[in-house]
Amino acid sequence: MTAMPRALLKRLASRLLMLAAVAFAGGFVAAAMVRYSPGFDSIPEDLDPQISPATLRALHEQHERANSLPVFYARYLARAVRGDLGVSQNLRQPVSDLLRRRGPVTLRLMLMGTAGGWVLAGILAWIAVWSRRAVVKTAASSVNGLLLAIPPAVLALAFFFSEAPLSLALALALLPRIFGTLRALLEDFYASPALLAARARGISPGVIATRYILGAGAPQLVALSGVTLVLAFGAAIPIETLCGVPGVGALALQAAIARDMPLLCGLGLAITVFVTAVQTASL
């Protein structure tokens, strides 16, 4: 085995270990929140007036021993690995089923919005850098600043009432988060000797973009794509909530309002694993 594959395998192993550690910690926090949530220590016998206080106290002690945090966490993690995240107290449905139905809706919105944000930010950054005209640079910065000042929820409402695609609202919300990094990256490549030589030889802009920018800047672009996906998820939550999109964002709001601890903890664990997996893959 050569040195390069060995280094890649070592790096992959470290990332997988980090993902497992974060998932383990996220599961522990979720289990602790469920274990110490209000009402967890209640038992059905509390409603039976025929049980004596001594018997009831013994039953509570037995319930507490059987559900101590380490034991409860081991059971919770074992069920979570099998896809069992408990049952929603408010909706009376398995949390895993809710995530299975709602997840694709949010994922589709995120992917379409992220793709649109990258395209729009790339075009704007390319114009700002390649034109080298002060008025164009000022206009690009003004558009970026304006979109940065508008909250994603306001964009979502404007697109919702105008019956425009909500994925475009998400794309415009992500554009200013991508534009700055892409512009700085293009500025560096624009002044590089290799790209200056390529332009002097009359190489087409398409070849310059694919070979001298996308190829050379692949590590930075991959890292930025991971950050963008995480930002897209955060921006999708208010968009789904305000516009009635049946995704994970609206589900999280319902869980928070109803104080549905099993659902909140299942969502927290799923989101933690998703964010960590995306960041690990983009390192």
Helix axes 218-243, 166-190, angle to 10 degrees: 160
Mean pLDDT for the chain overall: 76
Local structure of residue 150 (DSSP, 8 states): S
Neighbours of 64 (CB within 10 A): 10
User: Long-range contacts: 78-84, Cβ < 8 Å, 24+?
Assistant: 80/27, 80/269
Nearest to 80 by CA among 14, 12, 34, 43: 34
Q: What is the pLDDT of residue 65?
A: 64
What are the pLDDT digits (tens) for 193-219? Answer: 666 676 677 676 666 666 666 666 667
Residue 76 in contact with residue 89, Cβ under 8 Å? no
CA dihedral sign of residues 51, 57, 58, 64? positive
Distance in angstroms (rounded) separating the CA atoms of residues 106 and 111: 9
Nearest to 113 by CA among 180, 174, 162: 174
Per domain, the residue ranges of the chain are: 102-259
Q: What is the pLDDT of residue 180?
A: 83
Distance in angstroms (rounded) separating the CA atoms of residues 93 and 103: 15
What are the pLDDT digits (tens) for 148-202? Answer: 888 887 888 888 888 888 888 888 888 888 888 888 887 777 666 666 676 677 6
Residue 197 in contact with residue 207, Cβ under 8 Å? no
- pTM beyond 0.85: no
> Which are the contacts of 119, defined by CB distance < 8 A and separation ≥ 6?
171
- Top CATH class of 102-259 equals mainly alpha
Q: What is the pLDDT of residue 39?
A: 63
Q: What is the pLDDT of residue 275?
A: 75
Residue 128 in contact with residue 136, Cβ under 8 Å? yes
Q: What is the pLDDT of residue 1?
A: 46
Query: What is the separation of C-alpha 144 from the centre of its chain, rounded to a whole number of angstroms?
Result: 23
* pLDDT per residue rounded down to tens, the chain (283 residues): 455 467 667 776 777 777 677 777 766 776 676 666 666 666 666 667 777 777 777 776 776 666 666 776 777 777 777 778 778 877 788 888 888 888 888 889 888 999 998 888 888 888 877 776 777 778 877 888 888 888 887 888 888 888 888 888 888 888 888 888 888 887 777 666 666 676 677 676 666 666 666 666 667 777 777 788 888 888 888 888 888 888 888 888 787 777 677 787 778 778 777 777 776 666 5
- The DSSP bridge partners found for residue 87 are 94
